[in-house]
């Protein structure tokens, strides 16, 4: 059973904000897709410094499940029917286990409804790490943009996503993950690793 975290920050910036598509309802830390339509929802806060850890839980009451979490450059505007990661301005960790940044990179574990899926954004080194139920995943990204926003997406009705934890890590909690993962360069598809 995955450990469920409590959101520790009541900052107004830590809330979901809907893009231009319809078919979902946003509450402060939750989003519910009410129709089957692909779309990305972002957290209001823009990350420019520090090391941040964000954990989500996806819950599906339907028979189909598919979702993704990720980041995009802060000026990114998704197309109406696009997932994060379908271009060079965003990246995602998809429920199938692949990461997408205009093309797929495999190596992370797949996840399903009820799992805790997390990201760690290290703006000091400009790296992005993914976690599944607290365990760091193999595919990570380096040279992320200097200003990013966090997004979640799905395309199925009856999917809910909740922010479980969103906080900046203090110095005692910071850990270097780069030597334990496969780093993919943000700027281009990286075949050199």
pLDDT band at 146; cut points 50, 70, 90: very high
More confident residue, 127 or 190: 127
Q: Which residue from 108, 77, 79 is spatially nearest to 92, judged by alpha carbons?
A: 108
Mean pLDDT of the chain: 79
Residue 99, CA atoms < 13 Å, CB-side half-sphere: 28
Which residue bears the tokens 């992370």? 108
Q: Is the pLDDT of residue 177 over 60?
A: yes
Alpha carbons 130 and 118: distance in angstroms, whole number: 6
Task: Output the furthest CA–CA distance in the chain (Å, rounded).
Answer: 43
CATH number, domain 16-169+177-185: 2.60.120.920
More confident residue, 177 or 116: 116
CA dihedral 163, 169, 172, 176 (to 10 degrees): 90
Residue 139 · residue 130 · CB < 8 Å: yes
Residue 59, CA atoms < 13 Å, CB-side half-sphere: 11
Instruction: Identify the helix (H) or strand (E) that includes residue 59.
Output: strand 51-60
User: Distance from CA of residue 62 to its chain's centroid?
Assistant: 22
The pLDDT of residue 99 is 94
pTM of the model: 0.83
Q: Is the pLDDT of residue 189 over 90?
A: no
Q: What angle do CA 135, 91, 9 make, to 5 degrees?
A: 60
What number of other Cβ atoms are within 10 A of residue 12's Cβ? 9
Query: Which of the residue ranges 32-36, 62-66, 139-143, 176-180 would you say has the lowest mean pLDDT?
Result: 32-36
pLDDT band at 191; cut points 50, 70, 90: very low
Please give the backbone phi and psi of residue 73, each rounded to the nearest 5 degrees, phi first. -60, 150
The pLDDT of residue 1 is 25
Q: Is the pLDDT of residue 16 over 90?
A: no
What is the token pair recorded at 140? Answer: 């990570």
The pLDDT of residue 17 is 54
Which residue bears the tokens 């790490």? 129
Read off the pLDDT of residues 71-110 as tens digits, 9 standing for 90 and up: 999 998 776 556 788 888 899 999 999 999 988 999 999 9
The pLDDT of residue 7 is 40
Please give the backbone phi and psi of residue 171, each rounded to the nearest 5 degrees, phi first. -55, -35
- Mean pLDDT computed over 160-182: 81
């Amino acid at each position: 059973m995955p450990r469920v975290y409590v959101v520790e920050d009541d900052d107004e910036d830590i809330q979901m904000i809907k893009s231009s598509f319809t078919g979902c309802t946003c509450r402060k830390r939750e989003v519910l897709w009410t129709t089957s339509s692909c779309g990305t929802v972002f957290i209001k806060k823009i990350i420019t410094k520090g090391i941040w850890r964000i954990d989500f839980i996806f819950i599906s009451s339907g028979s189909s499940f598919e979702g993704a979490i990720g980041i995009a450059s802060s000026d990114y505007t998704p197309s109406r029917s696009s997932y994060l990661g379908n271009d060079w301005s965003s990246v995602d960790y998809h429920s199938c286990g692949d990461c997408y940044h205009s093309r797929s990179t495999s190596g992370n574990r797949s996840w399903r409804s009820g799992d805790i899926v997390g990201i760690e954004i290290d703006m000091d080194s400009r790296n992005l790490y993914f976690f599944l139920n607290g365990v760091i995943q193999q595919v990570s990204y380096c040279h992320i943009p200097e200003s990013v926003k966090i997004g979640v997406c799905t395309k199925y009705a009856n999917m809910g996503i909740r922010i479980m934890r969103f906080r900046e890590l203090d110095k005692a909690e910071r850990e270097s993950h780069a030597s334990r993962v496969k780093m993919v360069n943000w700027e281009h598809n990286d075949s050199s690793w």
